[in-house]
Amino acid sequence: MVALRSGNCERCGKAFEKKWPYHPQRFCSGSCKTLHRRDTGVDDIEVRCAQCGETFDCNRYRLKKFCCEECYKRSRIRPRVTLRRIGGG
Ligand SMILES: [Zn+2]
Ligand SMILES: [Zn+2]
């Protein structure tokens, strides 16, 4: 016999009772579902680093501009540029 009304959470392994016997419920709670999604990287998209131009995976809800700490630091150090006035008056 397959117990339709109970299952084990795919995230924490905890046994839980399904609300709907035939509805595929894989997690005991919403937070477990969110954590699982984060771990498996389904919310990740490919982003291009604003500093080095390399592509990297980044969570679409927590977008980052740089692939690593190093690139972030580099972007903060700007080369000295003397602004020239165009035209002037
Ligand atoms: Zn769980
Ligand atoms: Zn980079």
Quick: pLDDT tens for 66-79. 999 999 999 998 76
Q: Is the torsion defined by CA of 42, 38, 60, 69 positive or negative?
A: negative
Say whether pLDDT at 1 is over 50.
Answer: no
71: Cβ contacts below 8 Å, ≥ 6 apart? 49, 50, 51, 52
Report how far ligand 1's centroid is from the alpha carbon of 63 (Å): 26
Report how far ligand 2's centroid is from the alpha carbon of 53 (Å): 6
**pLDDT tens digits, 27-62:** 999 999 999 988 888 888 999 999 999 999 998 888
pTM to 2 decimal places:
0.49
Which burial class, exposed, middle or buried, applies to 67 when counting CB atoms under 10 A from its CB (0-12, 13-18, 19+)?
buried
pLDDT, residue 75, reads 93
Around ion ligand 2, residues with a beta carbon closer than 5 Å are 49, 51-52, 67, 71
pLDDT, residue 81, reads 66
Rounded mean pLDDT, 9-36: 89
Report how far ligand 1's centroid is from the alpha carbon of 81 (Å): 54
